[in-house]
């Protein structure tokens, strides 16, 4: 027995010591917020601020912040824009007004001296699945024909329209807070980003935010008006959900 134990010990000593596998250093994973903040937004040449507004507001103001702020895909960017507007005394770039509830909006562009020029008319939807029409002053540098925006299906949340024979679609940004949407252009079977909206949560009494636009692919005024239409639809959707399908009546 002693001899057998001695042989086993000898065999153990003869075996080469196995070096432990060196563990590879773990790659640091970026959080979803860090990935969003690292997103390259240099392709968006224009930055606009749509002032938060509710159903009882008769005026929607839009400011041009292209030279004032640097875009970041984060909710901190929304706060930065809001703080800048509160401290500055800039004249809005565009203003949409309606004379009363359930009336169409008249859209005006403003010069630095606050001179107004009529540029478009917006016929908003009366309920969640309705269509919206944007008619531009003729002749117009923005669009030569009326734009009709509607949902492709009654149970779909995207808003589609056609401009110069090209299809566009406002869609929600996946895995983000509500209030973030992206405007895509369908080209040869692929979807190309042309605008992005970073806003508040969809709340009934007041929604607004920052709109980033690639001016080479989309006219800024068209992006602004259609985004205002999307905001209105979301407010109507919340109203319909709260009232059991909008049985109380159309929202303002």
* Nearest-angstrom CA–CA distance, 190 and 173: 17
Pairing label, strands 207-213, 166-172: unpaired
User: What distances in angstroms separate CA 111 from CA 116, 118, 122, 207, 236, one per listed residue?
Assistant: 7, 12, 21, 25, 33
* Nearest-angstrom CA–CA distance, 118 and 95: 10
Query: How far, in whole angstroms, is CA 24 from its chain's centroid?
Result: 40
Query: How far, in whole angstroms, is CA 18 from its chain's centroid?
Result: 57
Residue 238 phi/psi, 5-degree rounding, is -65, -35
Task: Report residue 231 as tokens.
Answer: 């905001």
CB 227, CB 211: distance < 8 Å: yes
Give the residues across from 95 on adjacent strands.
Answer: 61, 108
Give the residues across from 48 on adjacent strands.
Answer: 64, 211
Place of tokens 């001899």: 3
**Domain ranges, ordered by start, for the chain:** 39-241
CB 209, CB 179: distance < 8 Å: yes
For each of the chain's 252 residues, which pLDDT tens digit applies? 555 555 555 545 544 555 555 555 555 554 555 555 446 677 789 999 999 888 888 999 999 999 888 877 777 787 888 888 888 888 999 999 999 888 999 999 999 888 999 999 999 988 888 899 999 998 888 999 999 999 988 778 789 999 999 999 999 765 554 468 899 998 887 889 999 998 876 565 678 889 999 999 999 999 999 999 998 888 777 654 444 444 334 445
* Nearest-angstrom CA–CA distance, 108 and 96: 6
Task: Report residue 101 as tokens.
Answer: 């509830």
* Nearest-angstrom CA–CA distance, 168 and 58: 28
Give the residues across from 46 on adjacent strands.
Answer: 213
């Amino acid at each position: 027995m002693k001899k057998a134990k001695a042989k086993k010990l000898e065999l153990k000593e003869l075996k080469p010591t196995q070096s432990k596998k060196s563990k590879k250093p773990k790659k640091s994973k970026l959080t979803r917020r860090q990935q969003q903040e690292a997103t390259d937004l240099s392709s968006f040449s224009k930055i606009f601020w749509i002032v938060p507004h509710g159903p009882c507001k008769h005026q929607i103001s839009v400011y041009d912040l292209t030279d004032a702020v640097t875009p970041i895909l984060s909710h901190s960017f929304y706060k930065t824009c809001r703080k800048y507007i509160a401290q500055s005394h800039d004249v809005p770039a565009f203003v949409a007004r309606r004379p009363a509830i359930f009336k169409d909006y008249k859209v005006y562009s403003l010069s630095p001296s606050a001179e107004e020029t009529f540029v478009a008319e917006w016929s908003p939807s009366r309920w969640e699945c309705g269509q919206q029409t944007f008619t531009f002053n003729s002749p117009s540098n923005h669009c030569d024909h009326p734009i009709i925006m509607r949902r492709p299906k009654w149970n779909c949340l995207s808003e589609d329209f056609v401009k110069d024979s090209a299809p566009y679609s406002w869609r929600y940004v996946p895995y983000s807070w509500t209030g973030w949407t992206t405007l895509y252009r369908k080209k040869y079977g692929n979807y190309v980003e042309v605008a992005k909206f970073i806003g508040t949560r969809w709340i009934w009494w007041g929604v607004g935010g920052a709109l980033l636009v690639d001016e080479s692919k989309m006219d800024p005024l068209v992006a602004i008006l259609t985004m205002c239409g999307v905001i209105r639809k979301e407010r109507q959707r919340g109203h319909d959900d709260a009232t059991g399908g909008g049985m109380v009546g159309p929202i303002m």
